[in-house]
Amino acid sequence: MENKVVTYQTEDGTIEINTHLENDTICLSQRHLFMKNIFWKILFFGIPLIVATGCQTSTPIEKIIFPTEEFNIRSTSDTTIFGEQGTRIFIGSQSFQLPNGDIVKDSIQIQLKEFYKKSDIILADLSTESDGKILETGGMLYIKAYANGEELSVRPDKRIVVHFPREKYSPKKMNLFYADSNTSTDSSVNNWDVDTINLVKRTLKLGSFGWWYPAVNDSTGYNFTPKDFADTGYYWNPLDFHVKSYIFSDETIREIERTKNINNYLHFESWNDYGVECDMYVSTKGYIHSPKITTKISYKAKQEILTFLESLPQLEPGKNKYDEIIQRRGLLFITPGNIVPLYQTDEQYLKSFDKKYSKFEKSPIKNVDAAELEFYIFSISKLGWINCDRFLKFEEKIDLMVNIDASPDLKLKLSFSEFDGFLKPTIIDGKYLFRQVPVGENSTLVGINTTDNELTVAIKEITISNQPIEELLFAETTLGELRLKLESLK
């Protein structure tokens, strides 16, 4: 039996809660009263709040953060962490390294922040956008690890397994996103990058790839490799990760599985196989253009595969025999297959179900199949901000203008009613503009203002159209009232 400490940082100091735990598994009990007593004092990432005092003047509350769930673990043991809001994190032994690359041998402090509710995401000034494309989120996390005051990273040959709780039997297929490189550790996230080495669900794979010679005297080869790809050595073709994360319809998957491609290339008879052949160019900057499908398939399947090809990440550009960057022409062959997620091959993780989970649950999870019904599961390679999301498609999108004067004291957020998506505006000519938002979607525009030592809020339900928003009505509020209003958003 070990004594573990869960630490909450508040403006008044540090509060420690001792918990007796076995087998290096950490489970946060439901401390609702404790959380309730301290929460109203807390605002995340810098919306300064003004509260009335007994004096005639008001004093700004110090800018602080939400409570941090902190766990002390041993580096030499497998550990499963249970977050307050349902997150689970499996950390295998010796998963972390110091800044100099040495394996950590001392005890490790894990810090976790969880964001699942609309109110939390809005107050934290987070958004769900990836390079201009709208995402639907299944939850956001901020994870850090330290040893003796030094920040740690995940070792190159290790992965941490993260579980995001999902709605029961939800059919949504999510992917993993990391905050982009411009996000600092103490700021909110403006853009998310899709993880090119993590897999979501079994779909299809790349059966093969090839290239057209740029010239008769240059037979340099070319691989379709995403830019900044982290090679784990697990898959022979790195684009398999992206094929796996793309959500193909069941109809297209079945058609690919049942279509036999007969190619027209001399001496390439071995390429005759079940699947679909794609021909495209790769620009000197690594972008796909002019893709086409050479296999005879239905119009619907063809359009879906073309959409997939256009969604491929930026690639490493091709080079000729003189090491000069050139445009390449290449072939991809998409076939049915069975790609196993990394976490399903982690022996330590697979053993954790009986050894760890069963001691802390009324209905313990016994295997991966059961876990995947209750969680979105990912193998992560780095710490910081991570997001469980999926891309959404819309038939028509427009730029939505909010014709009120921009101010550094005012934060605007567009919250969607039919899915958990949140957008931040850009400032154009002193006004607020939400770029490329879907026409006809029911949404809520939230404005939080901290001007003249007062906290005011405007909440306006809208249906997105070509009509700009001409005004927002702000009313004074308190942090408690604001959170209740945000929690009641549709």
Instruction: Write out the chain in H/E/C secondary structure.
Output: CEEEEEEEEECCEEEEEEEEECCCEEECCCCHHHHHHHHCCCCCCCCCCEECCCCCCCEECCCCCCCCEEEEECCCCCEEEECCCCCEEEECCCCEECCCCCECCCCEEEEEEEECCHHHHHHCCCCCEECCEEEEEEEEEEEEEEECCEECEECCCCCEEEEEECCCCCCCCCEEEEECCCCCCCCCCCCEEECCCCCCCCCEEEEEEEEECCECCECCCCCCCECCCCCCCCCCCCCHHHHHHCCCCHHHHHHHHHCEECCCCCCCHHHCEECEEEEEEECCCCCEEEEEECCCCCHHHHHHHHHHHHCCCCECCEECCCCCEECEEEEEEEEECCCCCHHHHCHHHHHHHHHCHHHCCCCCCCCHHHHHHHEEEEEECCCEEEEEEEECCCCCEEEEEECCCCCCCEEEEEEECCCCCEECCEEECCEEEEEEEECCCEEEEEEEEEECCEEEEEEEEEECCCCCECCCCCEECCHHHHHHHHHCCC
Do 302 and 444 fall into the same domain? Answer: no
Do 328 and 420 fall into the same domain? Answer: no
Phi-psi region of 13 (alpha: psi -120 to 50; beta: other; left: phi over 0): left
Do 218 and 192 fall into the same domain? Answer: no
Tell which wins on pLDDT, 402 or 37: 402
Provide the pairing of β-strand 79-82 with 25-27.
parallel
Tell which wins on pLDDT, 357 or 305: 305
**Entry pTM:** 0.66
Do 407 and 445 fall into the same domain? Answer: yes
Do 468 and 386 fall into the same domain? Answer: no
Do 143 and 241 fall into the same domain? Answer: no
Phi-psi region of 56 (alpha: psi -120 to 50; beta: other; left: phi over 0): alpha
The CATH number of whichever domain residue 417 belongs to comes to: 2.60.40
Q: Looking at residue 360, what is its pLDDT?
A: 63
Q: Domain tally for the chain?
A: 3
Do 145 and 256 fall into the same domain? Answer: no
Position 54 pLDDT exceeds 60: no
Domain termination site, one of 336, 352, 370: 336
Computed on alpha carbons and rounded to an integer, the radius of gyration of the chain in Å comes to 25
Q: Looking at residue 445, what is its pLDDT?
A: 95
Is the torsion defined by CA of 144, 149, 153, 158 positive or negative?
A: negative
Domain termination site, one of 294, 320, 336: 336
Do 14 and 145 fall into the same domain? Answer: yes
Domain termination site, one of 374, 391, 408: 391
> What percentage of the chain exceeds 90 in pLDDT?
36
Region 101-119: mean pLDDT is 92
β-strand partners of 428: 431
Region 199-224: mean pLDDT is 70
Contact 420, 137 (CB under 8 A): yes
Do 285 and 422 fall into the same domain? Answer: no
Distance CA 249, CA 466 (A): 31
Region 53-69: mean pLDDT is 52
Q: How many CA atoms lie within 13 A of 468 on its CB side?
A: 10
Do 190 and 231 fall into the same domain? Answer: no
Distance CA 364, CA 333 (A): 42
Region 107-123: mean pLDDT is 92
Most confident of 88-102, 119-133, 302-316: 88-102
Do 218 and 88 fall into the same domain? Answer: no
Q: Looking at residue 3, what is its pLDDT?
A: 39
| pLDDT, tens digit (0-9, with 9 covering 90-100), for 306-345 | 998 888 888 888 888 888 999 988 888 888 876 667 787 7
Q: How many CA atoms lie within 13 A of 125 on its CB side?
A: 20
Tell which wins on pLDDT, 186 or 485: 485
Do 448 and 417 fall into the same domain? Answer: yes
Question: Could you tell me the CA-to-CA distances from 40 to 33, 141, 203, 483, 487 in Å, in that order?
Answer: 12, 21, 45, 9, 14
Position 39 pLDDT exceeds 60: no
Structural domain harbouring 413: 397-487
